[in-house]
Amino acid sequence: MTPFSFEWQWNIDYLLFMGLLYLALTIVGCGVGFALLKTVLQLFGFMRERHF
């Protein structure tokens, strides 16, 4: 559901609930994105690989 769905209501319940959901999704997305980006950068040599 997005704020553009017809069921959407502009009240605190929706804002809180969906807000937190999208926040969680964003964090997870950013995390994965970050890891992907870092990998790509490392692959093309823009970043140094850390060795374990």
Q: Is 46 in the site for other proteins (CB under 8 A)?
A: no
Burial class (CB in 10 A: 0-12, 13-18, 19+), 14: middle
Query: Which residue of 4, 7, 44, 45 would you call a contact of other proteins, by CB under 8 A?
Result: 7
Q: Is 33 in the site for other proteins (CB under 8 A)?
A: no
Neighbouring C-alpha atoms within 13 Å toward the C-beta of 40: 5
DSSP letter for 49, please.
P
CB of 50 to other proteins, least distance (A): 7
Q: Which residues bind other proteins (CB under 8 A)?
A: 1, 5, 7, 11, 13-14, 17-18, 21, 24-25, 27-28, 31-32, 34-36, 38-39, 42-43, 49-50, 52
